[in-house]
Structure 1
């Protein structure tokens, strides 16, 4: 995401976490279970065109909803995690609170995802 400061454009670091190891994901997931923070997990794949359409949307949401944790998981890289959450289509967005799936959105559905984030982040 680019922001303009005093006439020059700078890129802000992404607020979206990416996990490449099941162990690191499990540690993070277990730690977040203890909080009331909403986590949105974006199950994606490098070859998935609809997933690429949602990338800027997730970056925008992560910048907007600073009280929500956004995580991206490549289903080919962490197949076991995707199977655990029974991901069948992509992109799939799991809204997780206290370790439980509160809601899910499958497909390119920006408005629905935004509505559910606003509903569950309280």
Structure 2
């Protein structure tokens, strides 16, 4: 994809960096169209359920600022307990609701959201 095809998406795709400084993000650049493209890359077909969570995560970020992954998952589980809590969230975001919801919402992924003890050393 070239920059001329979708400049917002290309510029915004950098927002998926893990542990990036929160001030590096322009929350106004985000749109549901950008979220849909990012979701497609993640193998997710974005639904109204996903979008409701993305809007909620963005509202919380704007109100409270960045938060550790454990606080974010606790907040999400509490908010979406009637729908099934953690099971519901992982059904929608199978690679992790904190990482994927943050990425798709155009927010910095909390640095403690990924367990670096898994995988191989490069």
Q: Which has the higher strand share?
A: 1
Q: Which has the higher helix share?
A: 2
TM-score (norm 2): 0.28
Higher relative contact order (Cα pairs below 8 Å, separated by 6+ residues): 2
TM-score (norm 1): 0.28
